Amino acid sequence: MRVLVTGGSGFIGGYVVEWLARRGVEPVVLDLVRPKGLAVDPVHHRADVRDPQAVAAAMEGCGVVVHLAGVLGTDLTVDSPVETVDNNLIGTLRVLEEAKRRRVRVVLINVGNDWDNPYTITKQAAVRFGLMYDREFGIPVTVVRAMNGYGPRQKADETKKLVPTLICAALRGEPLPVYGDGEQEVDLVYVEDVAEILGRAALAPDPVHGQVEAATGQAMRVNEVAECIRQLVNPAVPIVHLPMRRGEPARSRTVGSPADAARHFGYVPATPFQEGLRRTVEWYRSRQRATAEAAV
């Protein structure tokens, strides 16, 4: 069996590709970037998900598509709503149209939050289109609403994802940046658990028509997360509170439930936060050591 993973070179996508390969499934990646650092070397279509011919070529022979491609960013997308709509909505519609033509099952990923920024808005709209295709055209569409995924290989870049931003600041001996008062509540899910739920959604004997959450159900305040990382990585650095980012409310609660994943797939996220954090910190430390050695 072949499964297409759009965005398979990305953070979550790479873990989905590895998960599928471990189960004897042939993963096919559609991404502008070639997958790197994975335990497998999947078939790669270097293309834009908005290109219908490229999507058709990549989907050839696939029974399922896990659609993860798109642009990320909370405050970043505030200044680029048209580009965000083009990537996240048009790209999704290209996938859905080709899946409709081929009668292929689709797994979509949704954001955990409900914020007013182009990233969240377009992801939620894409999900609604997916559910419409399921209902109107009989294309099985499963939505995985992922809470705050974290783990090794996540980029600490301008998207300012919580865990890598804090870990990398601590490793550099810099203050740990927390936006607002830090009382926002998050549900941190280890990336391998997110990939497991996406993979099970793709291979389930009976497709789930609707949404399932990739969540632990355990709320942590951002201040708690920052303090855990500070104590584990570098207790000497302070935590500094910064003005809220655009596109994110001052107080929010992004916490889900593992109940539906348990009911449909017999699986709940199994990695405790402290263990997942330890693995993640070690990965960033190893990267830091490798960079330092290369500079000598």
Model pLDDT for residues 232-277, shown as the tens digit of each residue: 999 999 999 999 999 999 899 999 999 999 999 999 999 999 999 9
CATH code for position 89: 3.40.50.720
Residue 71 has pLDDT above 60, yes or no: yes
Angle of CA points 4, 269, 74, to nearest 5°: 65
pLDDT band at 156 (very low <50, low <70, confident <90, very high): confident
Upper half-sphere CA count for residue 252 (Cβ side, 13 Å): 21
How many domains are there within the chain? 1
Q: Model confidence over 96-125: pLDDT tens digits?
A: 999 999 999 999 999 999 999 999 999 999
Q: Where are the alpha helices (DSSP H) in the chain?
A: 11-22, 52-59, 81-85, 91-102, 118-137, 162-171, 191-203, 222-233, 259-265, 273-295
Q: Which domain holds residue 113?
A: 2-295
Residue 183 has pLDDT above 70, yes or no: yes
Token look-up 């889900």 returns 256
Residue 294 has pLDDT above 90, yes or no: no
Amino acid 159: pLDDT: 81
User: Residue 6 forms beta bridges with which residues?
Assistant: 30, 67
pLDDT band at 288 (very low <50, low <70, confident <90, very high): confident
CA distance 231 to 7: 34
Q: What is the pTM of this model?
A: 0.95
CA distance 261 to 214: 7
Cα 29 from chain centroid (whole Å): 15
Q: Find the mean pLDDT for residues 21-32.
A: 98
